Structure 1
Amino acid sequence: MITTVTLNASIDKAYHMDQPVVGGTVMRVHAVKNSAGGKGLNVARVAKICESTVQATGLVGGFNGSYLEYLTQQDGIMSNFGHIAGETRSCINILDERFSSTEFLEPGCEVSAQELEEYLADFPRIIAQSDVVTISGSLPKGVPTHTYQTLVELCKQANKPVILDTSGEALRLGIAAQPTMIKPNQDEIEALFNISVQSRADVIAAAQRLHQEGIAQVVISLGGDGALLVCEQGTYQAIPPAIEVANTVGCGDSMVAAFAVGFERAMSAPDALVYAVAVASAAAMSSCTGQYDPAHRDEILPKVELHKIA
């Protein structure tokens, strides 16, 4: 079973427009899709499509929190959330022909020290039956930046592989606990090492440095060029075929989900990279965040090129 952690969950509202967005005017939305949101919930849906058993956890509250749990259930995903007094946030993604995707992300309500303490105390029970744990996204107000570090340590104490996908100080402190896998982007690498990345070689060198510091698998997404992986077997790049892109929002979450499936199924790291690039590419072909057509994945998979760089 895969457990996905989303501390700053949300109700995601996708507004599909049939006309370009014009500022300062009244715009009528063509179609709306609501979903249980936050990066970890995207991971959960994609892992479910990959035919894994998935459990979603994190913090939710209020009417939106109840609605989020309902939407999670409708997606066929088990839930085991901690509950807070505040209202779960909403986030809006406007999809139109001119700008493709424009997101409005609410910060989320404040979590009290007692609410967080109760959740952390229950966390070992929540993950007890998990084969792998993913921790994704931002932290809510009131949650200290070292919280992901604590969660990673709890996963390791329970002998669970753990994937951490976040940014900023939460990522820096989380890395100190040596999660099994991280997935920083170029901006996050620059912030971690206080450097300016000028070339692909700089990206590879930084990823290799993170691996040497104790991260078993370091993955760097390269967009249309696929992804890099630094692991015990070496440094690899997987390159997908050309595809027709519909929506890139959540593709990184799809990649995390696929790697979690790889851990669950005991794939080799290079095989998991190929699988993850195929899943992320299929997700880019879907207009819905955290969704993809398995037929697209299966068509792309044999066309992904795997190159060993070092």
Structure 2
Amino acid sequence: MIITITLNPSVDMNYQLKALKINEVNRSGNPILTAGGKGLNVTRVIHQNREPVIATGFLGGLTGTFIRQQLDQQGVKHRFVPIRQSTRHCLALMHEGNQTEVLENGPEISPDEKSAFFQNYEKLLELGDVVTASGSIPRGLGTEFYRQLIELANKCGKKFILDSSGEALKTGIKAKPFLIKPNQYEIEALIGRTIDSEKELVEAIKELTAEGPENIVVSLGSKGALAFLNKTFYRVHAAKIEAVSAVGSGDSMIAGLALGTARGYSAEKTLALGSTFGTLNALESATGVINTERIDAFLKKVSVSRLEEKDYQVNR
């Protein structure tokens, strides 16, 4: 079973507007309401592929109730920790080919709620072999929270996949997670310098794996990914498509990587699955959704190749 962690979920409200008029009344039809948050996107895609998965995190208020109800309707197992404050809303205004977002900070987690989460998490670790954690850390937990979760997972022999950014990522990798999936900008923030070539990106990955995560998949958007899995570098070339919406594609890639890891697939097949899931999500208007009937066809369009040392040797 895969355990997915969404510490700061949301009810995502999507409004379709012909045009966004500043300082005027904007009218729209009924919004699309979704149980949101990066980790819940991961959860849905894993669930669509009939892999056992259970979602956890914090939920409170009427928004938290809405998320529980939607997950129940979708048949997704979950074990969230109840909190006193309300789960946040996130507003997306779709207009003139643009997307304008208003994101609430979310609730502040109390010490008692934090303690309850650890108790819940330790029980869940008995059920699953792979853990994914995605997104931001809510107030009250501190930037060390992911590090603590990774240390507990490592102690239990579980594989932890972390998808975050900023201080949460910087402190999290110190606990040596099984895998992280940053983009190039997040890699640059971690090493403190810009990256101008593939060789420099390879060198940065070497630096990070020397003291931190075992495996790194650097997502490069439509260009695919550069990955270091099982002590080997790989180039991943994604299938060429006309994207409908790229929102949630990174989360869908995490779902594919987690699925491949849980099923014991080879590095090549795991990377191809992650790339395929990300691509299929980009073909949908909904977030964290893929057409599973198209997986086999798109897997054939993904190219995963090993890099020889001469391809990435950095001259100093």
TM-score bin, normalised by smaller chain: over 0.9
Residue 96 of structure 1: aligned partner: 95
- Using the size of structure 1 for normalisation, the TM-score is 0.95
Alpha-carbon distance, 1:257 to partner: 0.7
Contact 2:175–2:212 (CA under 8 A) maintained in structure 1: no
Residue 259 of structure 1: aligned partner: 257
- Using the size of structure 2 for normalisation, the TM-score is 0.93
Residue 14 of structure 1: aligned partner: 14
Higher mean alpha-carbon deviation, 206-215 vs 162-171, is at 206-215
From 234, 237, 250, the equivalent of 1:236 is: 234
Gaps of 5+ in 2: 309-316
Instruction: Give the distance between the partners of 2:202 and 2:240, measured in 1 at CA.
Output: 23
Instruction: Give the distance between the partners of 1:16 and 1:301, measured in 2 at CA.
Output: 33
1:157-190 Cα deviation digits (max 9, x unpaired): 1211110111111111110110000011122111
Contact 1:9–1:60 (CA under 8 A) maintained in structure 2: yes
Contact 1:20–1:98 (CA under 8 A) maintained in structure 2: no
Instruction: Give the distance between the partners of 2:177 and 2:76, measured in 1 at CA.
Output: 24
Amino acid of the structure 2 residue aligned with 1:15: Y
Instruction: Give the distance between the partners of 1:309 and 1:94, measured in 2 at CA.
Output: 42
Q: Which runs of at least 4 in structure 1 moved beyond 6 Å after TM superposition?
A: none
Aligned residues: 308
* Aligned partner of residue 184 in structure 1, secondary structure: coil
* Aligned partner of residue 303 in structure 1, secondary structure: coil
Residue 177 of structure 2: aligned partner: 179
Any residues of structure 2 matched to 1:111-260 within 5 Å, and which? Answer: 111-260=109-258
- Superposition RMSD on alpha carbons, in Å? 1.4
Q: Is 1:67 matched up with 2:94?
A: no
Residue 35 of structure 2: aligned partner: 36
From 280, 287, 290, the equivalent of 1:289 is: 287
Higher mean alpha-carbon deviation, 258-267 vs 205-214, is at 205-214
Contact 1:61–1:84 (CA under 8 A) maintained in structure 2: yes
Alpha-carbon distance, 1:291 to partner: 0.6
Q: Is 1:278 matched up with 2:249?
A: no
Work out the percentage of aligned pairs sharing the same amino acid: 38
Gaps of 5+ in 1: none
Contact 1:21–1:98 (CA under 8 A) maintained in structure 2: no
Instruction: Give the distance between the partners of 2:94 and 2:53, measured in 1 at CA.
Output: 28
